[in-house]
Structure 1
Amino acid sequence: MLWQSSLKFAQIIPMQPHRKSSVKVLSGLMLASILSLPSPGLADENLAGKYYENALVAYQKQDLDAAIIELRNALQQNPNYVAAHILLGKLFLQKKSLSEAEVHLNLANQLGADRSLTVKALAQLYLYQIKYNQLLKEIQPSQFNRQLQPDLHVFRGHAYLQLNQISEALNEYDIAAQIDPSRVDAVIGRANALLRRNDLAGATQAVEKAMAMQPDNPGNWYVKGSIEHVQGDLENAIKDYDKAITLLPDYQDARIARAGVLMDLQQDQRADEDLAYLRKHYPFDPKAAYLHAVLLARNGQQAASIKELEAASDIIVAVKPEYLVQHSQTLMLSGLINYSLQRFDLAAEYLRQYVKSYPGQPGPYKLLASILLNKNEPETVIDLLRPVVASNPNDYRLLFLLGTAYMNVGKHDKANALLEKASAGEDGGENIHAEIGLNRLSMGQETLAIQELEAAIQKNPGNTQAGIPLVAIYIRNGEGQNALRIAQAMHKKQSKNLTLLNLLGTAQVATQNLKQARQSFEQAVELDPTFITGHLNLSKLDVAEKKIDKAKQRLVALNQKFPDNVAVLIELSTVDQAIGNNDSANQWLEKARRIDQKSMPVLLAQMDLNIKTGRTLQALSIGEAAELIDRENPQLLQALARSYLASNNREKALSIYRRMADQARLNVKKLYNVARYQIQAGDYSDAIKTLKKAIVADEKHIPAQIALTEMELYHGKPVFALSRANNLLKAYPQSGFPNRLLGDIAAQDKNFSLAATRYQTAFDLEPDTALLMKLYQSLNQTGQNQKAFDLLAEWTKKHPKDLVPIAALAEELLQQGKLKEAQKHYEFLLTQYPNEAQFLNNLAYIYFSSGDSKASSYAEKAQQLAPEQASSNDTLGWILVNTGKVDEGLHYLRSAHSRESQNPEIRYHIAVALDKLGRKDEAKQELEQALNSNLSFNGIEQAKALSEKLSQ
């Protein structure tokens, strides 16, 4: 029975410095509540387990169709049955049903499968799908046990070979052979690679070696035939290909090669037989489709040939329509509308036409220049504005835009002269500081933007142009006091301004002055009862204070007064989601959409609800319709990407993120956010590119610097990470994060002593929970276990509500066998997180070990809350097996194994269950696997005794 590591708890509870408030406020000057969804209904696990065991029996008999039917039945009972998804994925791959294989393998991984059980199937799938780069990016042999590594190196060799990267392919094959010298496929791979390099002697030598190792391996005959093919000995090549296909009728490469030779020999009928076989069994192979097209054309079947060529083609041509608008007012209006909708490319085209036709008006030039700057086209802006500034030498906005363009191309003398002249105008430069700040903000340069906006505020504390965005920035960054300072100053100047009164209330929430915030919002709605935003913020306060009924009553009354206000309907939906009433929540949003079919907030809210409730097709349908309204809305694009990820269309999601990165241009904040999405989706190479672009935009953006360093360390080039971290240490010697990064680099290099030193330095400068846990782990890794234990104990005494280190301390006590002390901590943790499966599981382990009858109920609840975790399935399964419910227990033990296949204790538990069911041979196999792992585990002596008993 497994207990679960508390180190994973750091991923469950957001780790915040103990001194900071946990109250959070969303940007957009509105309050927010965190929603939670109810747990799905319980499946018939026992029946699902029986169907799975039936599938295993059918699979062992190679009755694939029967096995698939049993597995589908199992998934009807439990759609999240990982073991069933794994086996289904492999079966569909065997049947060459690639899309279905991909769905089930990806679902298995998403549901927490042990990747060592799916990685080989995924590698083969990627080869079939011609996703060679994805294979190389995602499948890293070092992440898996040594037994699996040769297979994965061979797969990587095949991918490199298809990419014609011969040296890399040879390296992979050689590594596979070094790990396991008996791997004939590595030798065959090497022969194939040498043949690609035209090293016929080397290829022949490798084939001879492979033949000596395994003369009936079809790969040997295929490569031998390929060598003869290259040498022009087509008759013998055919014979060798025939031999390969006789040994393995499904041999794809051999059939393609034979078809090509047969076509060269004008034996079209035999070639057609091979190609027909390939098109039937490998419909996803473009080479077969292409050869078939050639064969059809050669035989005068032009239409069929074209159809096959189209099947082989994967080219999508996107055509953007061009619009010609002659009327000047319409032309200008089109530019303004598209600019407002952030369709900058279209807006720029309209404005270019406008200034070309009507050059005397400076306004359109300013708008066009702003767009071009945002598109990082400063040279174009300079050419555009120089003659306009000459005609309008005192227009501070034109001066500012031209100065910014010069600054962006490095002509700082000209830039400074223009910007100083712009600052001298407009009442001492107050507005130009605001303009510069807003421009910096639009480019994502937040630190520089804050400086300019603060300069405007110093000149005039009531400057709303600078003050309103500054308050929003400070709230978003958790600097509530700064936000409140500026909001109070603006409100003092305009005490009856509803926007500023609402802004003041939001700043008061950010500083946890909820009573004052309520007074501000109430004052706003007293001044104007139709001020919807004030009412909505009052309802959000109600939700934040757990007064859900009051919030609902307030919103229902508001809806009666303003039945067509979609913001009220969206908030009603949010409140219903908070109490788990998703059907009612959806009805509110449907009503809102009937009122305004093009409302982006409504469409986004609908997409979010559909994604949360698993209705991904509906979310995609809404998102694709919304995209026709606004292709460049970043919130929509993110929602679309989430929908594609939820529907297992990862490639489409990643393409959207790339699009978002392109649209962000040099806006560092936008680029950083896109990079975060790419990281979450596992697209590390593109995330690195995006973060590099972000740092080009603003090298002082610390989150991007940190993220890029981490990405280079774990998914890029570690030497770059080290260089970046050292540069950051020079630039920020009194901050903790450079030493933390250097500690991460040392830990990655397994230099745990240096890591501990770096983490200790960082911890001394800026102690927080995250660094505490890194320091704790590095101390353990250097054998300083007592110091690590003392570190946790001391921290938890000073911070008795910091749950992550308490969970780690509980685990330490559990490892030491101090069950009563560990029990005390876990019981406390459960008072804070009563539905945390990890704590329930570990308590079930403790209770079971001490004979406490509560063990079963705690294990059941843990498994219901975390069916994806091996530990919770193993604990429940083992308890059931030991309490007479063997069939039911075996199902949970299978689920545990599918998530942690290398754990010998789980295999031992499965063996006990199989033995109790009379399946002695299977039990013996499981015990052999467990004991041959050479790993120690709880129950190892009992496992040896059972193995000896079964061997008699």
Structure 2
Amino acid sequence: MLWQQSLQFAADMSSLSKSKTTSTFLASLFLASALNVPVTGFADENLAGKYYEDALVAYRKQDTGAAIIELRNALQQNPNYVAAHILLGELFLQKKSLSEAEVHLNLANQLGADRSLTVKALAQLYLYQIKYNLLLKEIQPSQFNRQLQPDLHLFRGHAYLQLNQISEALNEYDMAAQIDPSRVDAVIGRANALLRRNDLDGANQAIEKAMAMQPDNAGNWYVNGTINHVQGDLENAIKNYDKAITLMPDYQDARIARAGVLMDLHQDERAAEDLVYLREHYPFDPKAAYLHAVLLARNGQKDASTKELEAAADIIVSVKPEYLTQHSQTLMLSGLINYSLQRFDLAAEYLRQYVKTYPGQPGPYKLLASILLNKNEPETVIDLLRPVVASHPNDHRLLFLLGTAYMNVGKHDKANALLEKASAGEGGGENIHAEIGLNRLSMGQETLATQELEAAIKKNPGNTQAGIPLVAIYIRNGEGQKALRVAQGMHDKLPKNLTLLNLLGTAQVAMQNLKQARHSFEKAVELDPSFITAHLNLSKLDVAEKKIDKAKQRLVKLNQEFPDNVAVLIELSTVEQAAGNDDGANQWLEKARRVDQKSMPVLLAQMDLKIKTGRALEALSVGEAAELIDRENPQLLQALARGYLASNNREKALSIYRRMADQARLNVKKLYTVARYQIQAGDYPDAIKTLKQALVADEKHIPSQIALTEMELYHGKPVFAISRANNLLKEYPQRGFPHRLLGDIAAHDKNVDLAVSRYQTAFDLEPDTGLLMKLYQGLKQTGQNEKAFGLLSQWTQKHPKDLVPIAALAEELLQQGKLKEAQKHYEFLLAQYPNEPQFLNNLAYIYFTNGNGKALSYAEKAQKIAPEQASSNDTLGWILVNTGKAEQGLHYLRSAHSRMSQNPEIRYHIAVALDKLGRKEEAKQELEQIVNSNSSFNGMEQARILLDKLSH
């Protein structure tokens, strides 16, 4: 019985995530508070397992209807039964029920299925759905084992062929053939691609090779028919299509091609037979619908033809974007209103009309120029403002806007002259520095904005226009001391200003001076008891100090005084969530919604809670209401994207992220944020585009530089990653991150020794847990086990509360068979996170090995908390099998296999369970496959013995 875990520190340090290993007992470390998994009764699990086993029997007898019924019964008992979703998805795909297939395959993946079990079905589904780009984006053969790769290259080849990208299609077919030279469909695919290129000689050579390999392959006859068709030999084309369809009656392409030729030959009855068949078996194919419509029209059936055309349109129509409603007002007022609503395109249209009609007023030019700069149209701004600046040479705002436009097109001399003149113009430069800084900030150029805001504060420490955003920047970047200095300077100038007093408290919180922060907030409340913001901050301090009841009491009292204040109601909901009372949290938000149905913070809080509690469709319903209020709100867009992801509509979520990237324009902070969302959603190509756009906005933005380097390395062009990492090293030789990136590049190139050296340098410069774990893993891979173990031991002694390395150390001890020491560490970890499935699972293994009776209860708890993990299912299943409950155990072992299909140990456990249930032949088949694979695993010798026993 194997165990193992492999940990890495998550990027935002807020949670821990899993990485792949070769072991059965693999699990992720999640914060206990993030777990919200429905628990299924034990009796239901047994019944679900029985239904699934019955479905497998029916499936093997090719009784698809009975199998579907049994699988639905299984899912009625346990909606999270991954193996049942996988098989149902495949069966619905066979029946061409695409929507149902998509639901079950996506649910399987969402529930943690081993993607190698679903990827082929999904690829076929995408082809049927005409989602060629999605297939190419999501199906990456290199991510799967070599046995699967030829099929995936073929699917990609078909997608490229449909997109008429012939060279790419040929490359995919050649890759499939290179991995497995016996794949005749790769040769057929090549022939098809060459035909698309009008290379008849090449197509003929390829198909002759394919015919020699497999003469009864329907694809060969189809391509031969297509060659005849291209050459105008329609009679022989029909004969070859007939042969293909005889060999494979549901051959979609062959039937469409034959129907087309038959229509050309005016054999409409035969053509109709093919088209009716296609419409029945492939209702999602627009080509068939269109051809059928043409045929019906040709035969005078106008209404039926129209119906088919509408069906074709419904298949291919895309959702059109919703346009904003225009208001009929004066030109200038309309421009201002729409600008305020962030309807920039419409605002610009009105303002263009205004300045054309009334050219003498500079104000509208300024507003229009700001919009155009935000839309990244600096050339238009230059053309617009040059004559206006000539008429108003001392207007610092016009000078600033024109200077910014020149800067954005690379004319830096002109830009500097105008910006210096603007800066020197008003009040010694303090106000213009602040204004330039705010404009830089609005464009996402935070570094340049900070410099301008600092210049304004230097001239006047009490300048709130510059100081307030500067404090926010410092806090966001972890520069608490600077934030406190600026906040204190403003407060000293205006000691009774409640906003500044509250800001001072916020800066003190950033410095972890909680006592001083509480004093600042309390002083603000003392000056004005109705200052709700300070009350709310005091509540947040209570929660931070784990005084949940005190926070709630404070807020309930505040709610009694201000019953219609939605901020108080939202905070009450937040406190209820901190207490684990999601129902109570929802009630407060419902009350807030009744108070103000159009409050965006309330709507966003509702969406967040509903997504968190697994009610994504309800969240999207709230989002629809919010869109009517402000459809461009970036927080709303992110919430909608999260809702679509949670409801398994990934394509729509990704379209929202692309929309957010377009809206961000040249705002580097916004672009970087959108890129992180795209990365989290697995949309790597678009993330790369967004990060490149961010670096156009600010080439010095380190987070974007790091993220783009990582994206190019793993999902783009590694040569670009190498260049970027080396440039970063030249610029920041004493920082850890360039060395870490070069270490990642070396690891990607399988140069582990170099990777270890790079990680060591980075760790010496800026040690942190993430680098520690990379260095530890590298040392293990290079056989430096003692050094790796020593590294962990030293770190955990100095950082006794750093759970990631402690968990890794516990694993090391477990590997070494030091169960007593490992048990001590796991029990310590479990005391910190009593509902962490990984710790429960590994302790269950230790207890099982030592004969401790608590093993089963720990394994059951781990599986109930993390039913999506292969390890927890395998542990529980194996313990049940070995304690006389083989039928119950088999259900969990099936679930483990559906999530980690390549693990031979799980299949060995399944074989043992089948043997104990008297299903000897099935057990023998499982054992033959794992023994013949020559894989090394814990139990291999026992597997050989059992196979030998069953073979005699």
TM-score category (smaller protein): over 0.9
Which position in structure 1 is the counterpart of 2:499? 499
Report the alpha carbon displacement of residue 318 of structure 1 after superposing the two structures with TM: 4.6
Q: Which residue of structure 2 aligns with residue 840 of structure 1?
A: 840
Please say if residues 2 and 875 of structure 1, whose CA atoms lie closer than 8 Å, have aligned partners that are also in contact. no
Matched, 1:933 2:933: yes
| Per-residue Cα deviation, 1:839-886 (whole angstroms, up to 9, x for no partner) | 221121122112222211221121122111111110111001101111
Distance between the aligned counterparts of 2:374 and 2:327, measured in 1? 24
Q: CA RMSD in A?
A: 2.1
Q: Distance in 1 between matches of 2:805 and 2:667?
A: 38
Task: Specify the alignment match of 1:233 in structure 2.
Answer: 233
Q: CA deviation at 1:87?
A: 0.9
Q: Distance in 2 between matches of 1:529 and 1:12?
A: 37
Deviates more, 1:575-584 or 1:545-554: 575-584
The AA in structure 1 aligned to 2:38 is: P
TM value normalised by structure 2: 0.95
Q: Is contact 2:32–2:835 with CA below 8 Å preserved after alignment?
A: no
TM-score (norm: length of structure 1)? 0.95
SS of 1:529's equivalent in the other structure is coil
**For 1:806, what is the secondary structure of its paired residue?**
helix
**Structure 1 residues 412 and 6 mapped into 2: Cα distance closer, same or farther (>3 Å)?**
closer
Higher alpha-carbon deviation: 494-503 or 157-166 = 157-166
1:96 matches 2:116: no
* Structure 2 equivalent of residue 29 of structure 1: none
Structure 1 residues 15 and 766 mapped into 2: Cα distance closer, same or farther (>3 Å)? farther
In the aligned structure 2, how far is the partner of 1:606 from the partner of 1:524?
Answer: 30
Distance in 2 separating the partners of 1:495 and 1:782: 61
Q: Following the alignment from structure 2 to structure 1, what is the Cα–Cα distance between the partners of residues 886 and 801?
A: 41
Name the residue aligned to 1:42: 40
In the TM superposition, 1:406-805 aligns within 5 A as: 406-805=406-805
Q: How far apart are the structure 2 equivalents of 1:902 and 1:566?
A: 52
**8 Å Cα contact 2:39-2:865 kept in structure 1:** no
Q: Which residue in the other structure is 2:56 paired with?
A: 56
Q: Is the 8 A contact 1:207 1:224 kept in 2?
A: yes
Greater CA drift, 501-510 or 167-176 = 167-176
Of stretches 856-865 and 690-699 in structure 1, the one that deviates more from structure 2 is 856-865
Q: How far apart, CA to CA, are the structure 2 residues paired with 1:286 and 1:457? A: 64
What's the CA shift for 1:567?
1.0
1:36·1:578 contact (CA, 8 Å) conserved in 2? no
In the alignment, the residues of structure 1 paired with residue 246 and residue 916 of structure 2 have an alpha-carbon distance, to the nearest angstrom, of 44
Map of 1:295 onto structure 2: 295
| 2:529 counterpart SS class | coil
Judged with a 3 Å threshold, the aligned counterparts in structure 2 of structure 1 residues 560 and 333 are, in CA distance, closer, same or farther, namely: farther
Q: Which moved more, 1:547-556 or 1:717-726?
A: 547-556
**Separation in structure 2 between the aligned mates of residue 864 and residue 424 of structure 1, nearest angstrom:** 68
- For 2:108 and 2:427, how far apart are their aligned partners in 1? 64
**Structure 2 match to 1:77:** 77
Q: 1:660 to 1:813 in 2, by over 3 A?
A: same
Give 1:172's aligned residue. Answer: 172
Q: Give the distance between the partners of 1:54 and 1:338, measured in 2 at CA.
A: 63
Structure 2 letter corresponding to 1:733: P
Matches within 5 A, 1:326-341: 326-327=329-330, 331-341=331-341
Structure-2 change in CA distance of 1:167 and 1:399 (3 Å): closer
Distance across 1 between alignment mates of 2:733 and 2:377: 36
Q: What does the per-residue CA deviation read over 1:667-722, in whole Å, with 9 as the maximum and x for residues that have no partner? A: 00001111111111111111111110100100000000111111111111111111
Contact preservation (8 Å) 1:342, 1:633: no
Q: In the TM superposition, what whole-angstrom CA distance separates every residue of 1:590-643 from its partner, at most 9, and x where no partner exists?
A: 222222222111111111112112222221122122212212111011111111
Deviations along 1:36-88, one digit per CA (max 9) or x if unpaired, are 56542334222221121121122112222222222222222222211111111
User: Could you tell which deviates more after superposition, 34-43 or 448-457?
Assistant: 34-43
Distance verdict in 2 for CA 1:324–1:509, change over 3 Å: closer
**Number of residue-to-residue matches in the alignment:** 933
1:10 Cα deviation after fit:
5.4
Q: Deviations over 1:503-529 (max 9, x none)?
A: 111111111111211111111112111
What is the distance in 2 between the residues matched to 1:830 and 1:335?
60
One-letter amino acid of the structure 2 residue matched with residue 297 of structure 1:
A
* Contact 1:174–1:186 (8 Å) recurs in 2: yes
Partner of 2:370: 370
Check the 8 A contact 2:327/2:334 in 1, yes or no: no
Q: Which amino acid aligns with 2:455?
A: A
> How far apart, CA to CA, are the structure 1 residues paired with 2:372 and 2:8?
47
- Distance in 1 between residues matched to 2:463 and 2:626, nearest whole Å: 36
| Matched-pair contact (CA < 8 Å) for 1:36–1:580 | no
How many angstroms does 1:339 deviate by? 2.5
The one-character-per-residue Cα deviations of 1:785-822 (angstroms, maximum 9, x if unpaired) are: 22222222222222222221222222122222222222
Q: Please, which runs of 5 or more residues in structure 1 have no aligned partner? A: 17-32
Question: Partners of 1:319 and 1:13 in 2: how far apart?
Answer: 39
Contact 1:746 1:755 in 2 (8 A): yes
The 8 Å contact of residues 813 and 819 in structure 1, kept in 2 or not, is answered as yes
Q: Does 1:851 align with 2:833?
A: no
- Structure 2 counterpart of 1:262, which letter? L
CA distance in 1, matches of 2:555, 2:322: 46
Matched to 1:449, the amino acid is A
State the distance in 1 between where 2:444 and 2:514 align: 31
Residues 15 and 769 in structure 1, CA contact (< 8 A), matched pair in contact too? no
Cα shift at 1:3 = 1.8
Check conservation: 2:39, 2:864, Cα contact below 8 A: no
1:188 and 1:409 mapped to 2: Cα distance?
Answer: 51
Aligned residue type for 1:492: D
The 3-state SS of whatever aligns with 2:549 is helix
- Distance in 2 between the 1:370 and 1:197 partners? 49
Aligned to 1:210: 210
**Equivalences for 1:809-820 in 2 at 5 Å?**
809-820=809-820
* Residue-by-residue CA offset, 1:757-790 (whole Å, 9 max, x unaligned): 2112211211111111111212222222222222
Q: Report the Cα distance in structure 2 between the residues aligned to 1:364 and 1:60, rounded to whole angstroms.
A: 74
- 1:13·1:804 contact (CA, 8 Å) conserved in 2? no
In 2, Cα distance between equivalents of 1:807 and 1:610: 32
Matched residue of 1:425: which SS? Answer: coil
Would the aligned equivalents of 1:399 and 1:422 in 2 still touch at CA under 8 Å? yes
Structure 1 residue 549, shift from structure 2 partner:
1.7
* CA 15–880 in structure 1, closer or farther in 2 if over 3 Å, else same: closer
Q: Deviations over 1:11-33 (max 9, x none)?
A: 896489xxxxxxxxxxxxxxxx9
Which is further off, 181-190 or 101-110? Answer: 181-190
Percent identity, aligned pairs only, is: 86
Provide the C-alpha distance between the structure 1 equivalents of 2:806 and 2:566, rounded to a whole number of angstroms.
45
Q: Which residue of the partner structure matches residue 383 of structure 2?
A: 383
Larger CA deviation: 466-475 vs 185-194:
185-194
Contact 2:9 2:773 in 1 (8 A): no
Q: CA deviation at 1:277?
A: 0.9
Q: Which runs of 5+ in 2 are unaligned?
A: 17-30
For 2:88 and 2:158, locate their aligned partners in 1 and report how far apart those are by CA, in whole Å.
Answer: 25
Partner of 2:26: none
Provide the rounded CA distance (Å) in 2 between the counterparts of 1:760 and 1:829. 27
Inter-partner Cα distance in structure 2 for 1:233 and 1:395: 77
C-alpha distance in structure 2 between counterparts of 1:386 and 1:221, whole Å:
69
C-alpha distance in structure 2 between counterparts of 1:605 and 1:946, whole Å: 57
State the alpha-carbon separation in 2 of the partners of residues 885 and 13 from structure 1: 41
- Partner in structure 2 of residue 399 of structure 1: 399
Q: Distance in 1 between matches of 2:401 and 2:908?
A: 72
Residue 111 (1) aligns with residue 111 (2) = yes
Contact 1:931 1:944 in 2 (8 A): yes
Offset of 1:184 from its aligned partner? 2.3
| Residues 259-270 of structure 1 mapped to structure 2, 5 A cutoff | 259-270=259-270
